Amino acid sequence: MSIAKWTGQILSLVMAVVSAIIITLSAALAQQPGPQAAPIPNFSGTWVRPYFGVELPLSGPGPVTNSLRCTKISQCAPLQGRDGVESFYGAVGDHSNPILKPQAAEIVRKHGETESSGVVLRTPRSQCWPGGVPYIFAFEQGMQFLQQSHKITIVYDYDHQVRHVRMDQPHPARVTPSWYGDSVGHWENGTLVIDTIGIKIGPFAMLDIYGTPHSPALHVVERYRLIDYEAALQGQERGLNEHPNTPGAYGMVVDPDYRGQGLQLQFTVEDDGVFTTPWSATVTYRRGVITMAEQICAEDEHEIDGTNERAIPRADKQDF
């Protein structure tokens, strides 16, 4: 046998052995479990926090804050509103916040000037109008998650404000503006991400109690995740420190004995018509002692301008 022929046979044998090894390894690797997606957590049930307002971000741009902010409720001077109700909020927003464009800053300034004079301005909550997002995040102390694979429904404690979130679907090409906009959601490693656009501008439209406006370009992204007990406790303590003048809990009370996980919402707001940059904030929830009670805004007695009338929304025609 020639050396060339012998060398060729050896090379063929080596290649066959290498090919067999590669095939065996490939088959073994194919049987190995790949990276597993984080399981979808269950957010169902009632979630509560003991304050109105939002937690400021640890870094980066944050929302408009109260320029009359005090550190203890005993230091908060109540403002006597024209409706006869003492307001510990004194909703005087800091119009110097650099996130505000000049026109928006002027609206916040005028709103605060009016509030400082003792006139409590009308808000979506006081007039029984839908608050929209992100307003609803700051002025609802409780919410209930109804979680399904294809849809998530969020019910807020006051006046039964309801949001519907379609899961794993895109926004339509043309969005019809509505009070809570078009919300679509998906899961990212155990975090629920909700993207909302198309929020309607109504008579009392504002993003917060300081009168910050919004434009049709408003875009809000929410990220909900479960956090451990200690982190939830710290988040709510930070919220209480930032908002010590929160009034009574209206029946929505955090369960002091519950040591399970909390729910944390981190949201980002962008609106090129109002803000110079996107900004973010956080809300931390824990489980409540009781379920949500019925609270119907339009049936509450509440005086405005010395009368018992509110600018309650009314339908001029039937919806269907």
Q: Which one is predicted more confidently, 250 or 239? A: 239
In 3-state terms, what secondary structure has residue 79?
A: strand
307, with CB counted inside 10 A (0-12, 13-18, 19+), is exposed
Helix (H) or strand (E) holding 142: strand 142-147
- The tokens for 302 are 């509440």
Q: What percentage of the chain has pLDDT greater than the value 90?
A: 50
Whole-number pLDDT of residue 294:
74
pLDDT at 27 over 90: no
Whole-number pLDDT of residue 71:
44
Mean pLDDT value of segment 74-80: 46
Q: Which of 161, 156, 226 is nearest to 191 (CA)?
A: 226
pLDDT at 81 over 50: no
Instruction: State how far the Cα of 20 lies from the Cα of 16, in Å rounded to an integer.
Output: 6
Q: Which one is predicted more confidently, 152 or 10? A: 152
User: At which residue do the structure tokens 């909703």 appear?
Assistant: 91
Q: What is the DSSP letter of 55?
A: B
Whole-number pLDDT of residue 281:
97
pLDDT at 63 over 80: yes
Instruction: State how far the Cα of 315 lies from the Cα of 320, in Å rounded to an integer.
Output: 11
pLDDT in tens, 284-295: 999 987 666 677
Cα atoms in the Cβ-side hemisphere of radius 13 Å centred on 41: 17
pLDDT band with cut points at 50, 70 and 90 for residue 251: low
pLDDT at 308 over 70: no
Question: Which residues, 6 or more positions from 186, have their beta carbon under 8 angstroms from its beta carbon?
Answer: 167, 168, 192, 193
Whole-number pLDDT of residue 88:
43
Q: What is the mean pLDDT of the chain?
A: 81
The one-letter amino acid at 253: V
Is the pTM higher than 0.85? The answer reads: no
pLDDT band with cut points at 50, 70 and 90 for residue 9: low
Whole-number pLDDT of residue 41:
95
Measure Cα distances from 115 to 51, 66, 109, 212, 319 in Å: 21, 12, 10, 14, 36
Whole-number pLDDT of residue 122:
82
Question: Any idea where the domains of the chain sit in the sequence?
Answer: 45-299
- The tokens for 282 are 């956080």
User: At which residue do the structure tokens 């949500």 appear?
Assistant: 292
pLDDT in tens, 89-100: 567 899 999 999
Whole-number pLDDT of residue 317:
77
- The tokens for 177 are 């503006």
**What DSSP string describes 263-314?**
EEEEEEEE-TTTBSS-EEEEEEEEEBSSPPPP--GGGS---BTTBS------
Measure Cα distances from 299 to 46, 85, 292, 295 in Å: 24, 17, 17, 9
Mean pLDDT value of segment 266-294: 91
pLDDT at 137 over 60: yes
Whole-number pLDDT of residue 90:
65
Pairing state between β 191-197 and 219-227: antiparallel
In 3-state terms, what secondary structure has residue 232?
A: helix
pLDDT in tens, 176-218: 999 999 999 999 999 999 999 999 998 888 999 899 999 999 9
Whole-number pLDDT of residue 79:
44
